[in-house]
């Protein structure tokens, strides 16, 4: 079995689960946060919506500089509506899935680097970036987001089994 074939079912499941969480975003509470050091609900939802963009970007390139010298720094998206956020998320997931499906095993072993101002922060094989900075990163922030939803009295969707709200 190819790496892509083994990765795609997990990617599909995790992205579908993340979408269910994003669908419940209470944008009226976008500025709420559980602690002064925490991201706002809106910023966390936007981050979850953008993480899948790393998939195609990683598989089609070899680096990303979040603050390139002489160029504009990366700016996270701000969504005016849940529909807008879901449209963006869906487009990133679709492009990422296509990039994964088209990849050969050797493509996953190509080194990829995250940079800031031209300085390398880390270099991993593309597979490591997909596992850590797309899948695990999404799962981590989705866990945070489920707590945000709970604290805002929004029913939490099931993730790997029923939630207290979905039996």
So what's the pLDDT on residue 54?
Answer: 97
- Are 40 and 26 in contact by the 8 Å Cβ rule? The answer is no
pLDDT mean over 135-150: 98
Which residue matches tokens 């489920």? Answer: 146
pLDDT mean over 134-143: 98
pLDDT mean over 44-65: 98
- pLDDT at residue 22 greater than cutoff 90: yes
Edge to edge, the sheet with strand 111-116 lists 63-65, 111-116, 119-125
What is the pTM assigned to this prediction?
Answer: 0.95
pLDDT tens profile 76-120? 999 999 999 999 999 999 999 999 999 999 999 999 999 999 999
So what's the pLDDT on residue 167?
Answer: 78
- pLDDT at residue 21 greater than cutoff 90: yes
Is 37 strand, coil or helix? coil
- The CA-CA-CA angle for residues 143, 148, 150, to 5°, reads 95
pLDDT band at 166 (very low <50, low <70, confident <90, very high): confident
- pLDDT at residue 131 greater than cutoff 90: yes
- CA pair distance 11, 150, nearest whole angstrom: 25
């Amino acid at each position: 079995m190819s790496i892509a074939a083994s990765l795609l079912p997990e990617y599909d499941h995790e992205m579908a689960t993340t979408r269910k969480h994003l669908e419940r975003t209470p944008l009226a509470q976008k500025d709420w946060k559980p602690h002064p050091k925490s991201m706002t609900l809106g910023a966390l939802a936007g981050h979850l919506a953008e993480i899948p963009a790393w998939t195609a970007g990683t598989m089609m390139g070899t680096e990303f500089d979040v603050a390139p010298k002489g160029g504009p720094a990366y700016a996270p998206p701000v969504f005016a509506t849940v529909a807008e956020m879901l449209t963006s998320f869906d487009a990133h997931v679709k492009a990422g899935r296509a990039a994964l499906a088209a990849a050969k095993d050797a493509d996953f072993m190509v080194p990829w680097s995250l940079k800031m101002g031209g300085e390398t922060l880390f270099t991993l094989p593309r597979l490591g970036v997909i596992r850590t900075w797309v899948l695990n990163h999404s799962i981590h922030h989705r866990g945070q987001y489920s707590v945000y939803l709970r604290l805002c009295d929004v029913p939490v969707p099931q993730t790997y089994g029923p939630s207290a709200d979905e039996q």
